[in-house]
Amino acid sequence: MKKVLLFGATGSIGQQTLDIISRFRDSLTLLGISGKLRLDNLLDIAEKFRPPLIALPDEESVSYLAKRLSYKPEFFVGDEGLARMASEPSADVVVIAISGIKGLIPAYYALKNGKRVALANKESIIGGGFLLLSTAQSSGGEIIPVDSEHSALFQLLQKVKSYSLRKVYLTASGGPFLDWDLKDLEKVTPELALKHPTWRMGEKITVDSATLMNKGFEVIEASVLFNLPPEKIEVLIHPQSTIHALVELIDGTFFAHLSKPDMRLPILYALFYPERPNFDVADLSFSPSLTLNLFPPDFQKFPCLTLAYSALKLGHPYPLILEASDEVAVPAFLEGRIKFTDIPRVLEKTLNEFTIKYKPSTVDEILVFHEEVKNFTEEMIKRL
């Protein structure tokens, strides 16, 4: 029986991880959960799975849950609680489904303790991937990516010798504005941006998919996780979200990874790796109407992609700056404070104008630096 710690249990990835755990009760059990908002939802999860450990943001949430629960779990509080629960010795797999840079805390401590980390949180890879990788290396921990494209690449690259690799390709649905004219993007509303054509995800990542910032972040993620230079990573638009990644070999051969767009598949893979259990609820059916298109993205229409490559080439801490700035720009857009087309403008301005006084190298420094960039971006948006 594998014991699973699930950080971010109430979110989109969190719920899908719980679905997998329910379906594989003979081999998976929930050791601990964390969540920040939606405490009633967390309460329901706790009652259903009865995890002995629960991490919460503050003491008020602890007393809220403690009063209502029918059993007595051990509670962990705040950022320190995230670190302590992630260090729980009896855990076999630690799923990081928290959104935002705070995901770095449990990811780091789980790896430091030599655990397997099923890592969905991309902010921690973008801002602190170097730290996670070196920590995993020295402790014997391992990172299994859960982001669908990176799970696909992880699976494909196992079959390829590194000297025979020419390039990797990440696919992007293209988001809801793929066919819009550049000039019309000014008029995009939050409602329109929140309608993703193929995936159901949290709000932030859905807007990032509409600007293609998400794909830009994934280019950075791929570079960090698989130690690839920017010129070996390309993006292809693939509106059907059926091919998740491709690798091109030096003899011109391509391997592709296909599956139904269902995040439960990469989650399942990370939980069971290197095994593959039988799972038939996400079958891909080939109907006469199924067509698969692949074509290059329009960098002019989606400047966030270019920004990601620039940040990647500049190196640490530029990807962290880009990501932190986006964590402010996206809510500002959703709250109607800036336009959709202002998002890349704000990000570019932050990349150019934020003064780097030091290179953050520890978890604490990365979190503080991230906060400084967010404050800088917030002030800049006020002046726009």
Chain contacts with Mg ion (rule: CB under 5 A):
147-149
Closest CB 212 distance from ligand NAD, rounded Å: 14
The C-alpha atoms of residue 157 and residue 64 are separated, in whole angstroms, by 46
For ligand NAD, which residue of 3, 4, 12, 173 counts as binding (CB under 6 A)?
12
CA Rg value for the chain: 20
For ligand NAD, which residue of 115, 122, 196, 257 counts as binding (CB under 6 A)?
122
Q: Which is nearer to ligand NAD, 241 or 248 (CB)?
A: 241
**Sequence-ordered alpha helix ranges (H) in 240-341:** 264-272, 303-314, 318-334
Binding mask 211-250 for ligand NAD (x = CB under 6 A): ----------------------------------------
The C-alpha atoms of residue 40 and residue 115 are separated, in whole angstroms, by 30
The helix-helix angle for 148-157 and 213-226 (nearest 10°) equals 30
Q: Does 374 bind ligand NAD (CB under 6 A)?
A: no
Q: Does 100 bind ligand NAD (CB under 6 A)?
A: yes
The strands making up 142-145's β-sheet, listed across from edge to edge, are: 74-77, 53-56, 28-34, 2-7, 93-96, 116-119, 142-145
What residue type is assigned to position 5 of the chain? L
Query: How does strand 254-258 pair with strand 243-249?
Result: antiparallel
Q: Does 102 bind ligand NAD (CB under 6 A)?
A: yes
Closest CB 359 distance from ligand NAD, rounded Å: 23
Q: Does 13 bind ligand NAD (CB under 6 A)?
A: yes
Q: Which is nearer to ligand NAD, 9 or 311 (CB)?
A: 9
119-143 b/e with 16+ CB inside 10 Å = b? bbbbbbbbbbbebbbebbeeeebbb
Question: Where in 128-147 is the site for ligand NAD (CB under 6 A)?
Answer: 147
* Chain residue at closest Cβ approach to ligand NAD: 11
Closest CB 121 distance from ligand NAD, rounded Å: 4
**Sequence-ordered alpha helix ranges (H) in 229-298:** 264-272
Q: Which is nearer to ligand NAD, 61 or 377 (CB)?
A: 61
Q: CA end-to-end span of the chain, whole Å? A: 55
Q: Which is nearer to ligand NAD, 79 or 342 (CB)?
A: 79
Chain-centre distance of CA 364, in angstroms? 20
For residue 169, the surrounding DSSP H or E stretch is: strand 165-172
> Tokens 């962990």, residue?
76
Q: Which is nearer to ligand NAD, 57 or 349 (CB)?
A: 57
Look at residue 207 and give the partner it binds from ligand NAD, Mg ion, none, a contact being a CB closer than 5 to 8 Å depending on partner kind. none
Q: Does 205 bind ligand NAD (CB under 6 A)?
A: yes
**Residue count, binding to ligand NAD (CB under 6 A):** 28
Binding mask 33-52 for ligand NAD (x = CB under 6 A): -xxxx---------------
Closest CB 55 distance from ligand NAD, rounded Å: 7
The answer to whether 185 touches 341, Cβ cutoff 8 Å, is yes
- Closest by Cα among 364, 363, 218 to 297: 218
Contacts to ligand NAD by CB under 6 A: 8-14, 34-37, 57, 97-100, 102-103, 120-123, 147, 199, 201-202, 205, 263
